[in-house]
Amino acid sequence: MKFEHILYAKRDATASITLNRPDKLNAFNVPMLEELLAAVTDAASDAGVRAVLLTGAGRGFCAGADLESRRVPEGGQKPDLGKNLLKWYNPVVKTIRTMEKPVVVAVNGVCAGAGAGIATAGDIVLAARSASFIQAFCKIGLVPDAGNTWHLPRLIGVARARGLALLGDKLPAEQAEQWGLIWKCVDDAKLMEEATAILRQFASAPTRALAYSKALYNASFSNDLATQMDLEAQFQRRCGDTADFWEGVKAFLEKRKPDFKGR
Ligand code: LHQ
């Protein structure tokens, strides 16, 4: 696929996706969603890719759905807003959450609406100190979508998630870190350096174990303790079948750095 609204590059066992409509704060139009879904699907299925980075070009991360394309002519037909969610946004969020490798999100600026849903689906979310998160939906008569009502209460609790959704207040990156919405808030100038360092660490990590950890945390809030521990045992058994586990133990005993192959 030709990428015109995002940048997509693969190198050194990593894939980088940059939302690239900076003059519109990377708001999602359909071609951009189509490209984003193609990129995350490719990154997920490419066994050579062991870690994925998602960020935005310019001063914003993503302003949510492109409202310009939602301009309804007088007397025009009302749009089916569920359609684009089912076709594009939901598969993007599901692919990020279920891909068997970690996704690092570098939130470089304002992150609104569905943009916040996609950002918070990441495994490690870093944000520049000047960035902010806005559940902008209530300001235009919508409900939070793109996984926001699933991720936010789990990350920051219902009181805060509901408050953000109903008030539409801007949550600065520092407070997002304090509330546990993101992993870390960093100085703007350091954002890409820190995100890249984490990406590199993941590119030489025991990928299968990270994928299984991710699956365990995906399941955690829906399971009771006994079911979850059974699942841990299942995944630990699978880890025992990986070459990386044996390499990890061998390297520890030989007092050297492990050389994980992601298998
Ligand atoms: C934009 C946008 C934008 C187009 C800034 N669209 N141009 C909805 C419907 C359907 C199905 C699926 O799900 C969804 C989910 C959603 O995401 S709904 C939420 C949609 N997003 C919003 O309501 C946020 C709208 N934007 C804003 O409130 C502000 O732009 C924020 C707070 C993000 C940033 O404010 P500022 O830093 O002051 O920037 P700005 O407002 O001046 O925007 C810069 C440019 O970007 C400007 O264009 P222009 O040509 O005038 O320079 C904006 O029009 C454009 N832009 N967001 N969503």
Separate counts of helices (H) and strands (E) for the chain: 11, 10
CA of 219 to the centre of ligand 1 (A): 33
Q: Are 182 and 195 in contact (CB under 8 A)?
A: no
Predicted pLDDT of residue 106? 99
**Looking at per-residue confidence, does 43 or 77 come out higher?**
43
> Which of 23, 33, 67 to mutate for ligand 1's pocket (most ligand atoms within 8 Å of CB)?
67
Predicted pLDDT of residue 77? 81
> Across the chain, what does the average pLDDT equal?
97
CA of 24 to the centre of ligand 1 (A): 7
Q: Which residues line ligand 1 (CB under 6 A)?
A: 24-25, 27, 63-68, 81, 84-85, 89, 110, 112-114, 134, 136-137, 139-140, 142, 145
Considering the entire predicted model, what is its pTM? 0.97
Name the amino acid, one letter, at 184. K
**CA distance linking residue 80 with residue 78, whole number of Å:** 7
| Ligand 1 atom nearest 113 alpha carbon | 17
| Ligand 1 atom nearest 115 alpha carbon | 17
Contacts of residue 138, defined as CB under 8 A and 6 or more positions apart, other chains included, come to 165, 166, 167, 168
Residue nearest to atom 3 of ligand 1 (CA): 66
| Ligand 1 atom nearest 64 alpha carbon | 17
Predicted pLDDT of residue 191? 98
| Ligand 1 atom nearest 82 alpha carbon | 11
What average pLDDT does this structure show over 144-151? 98
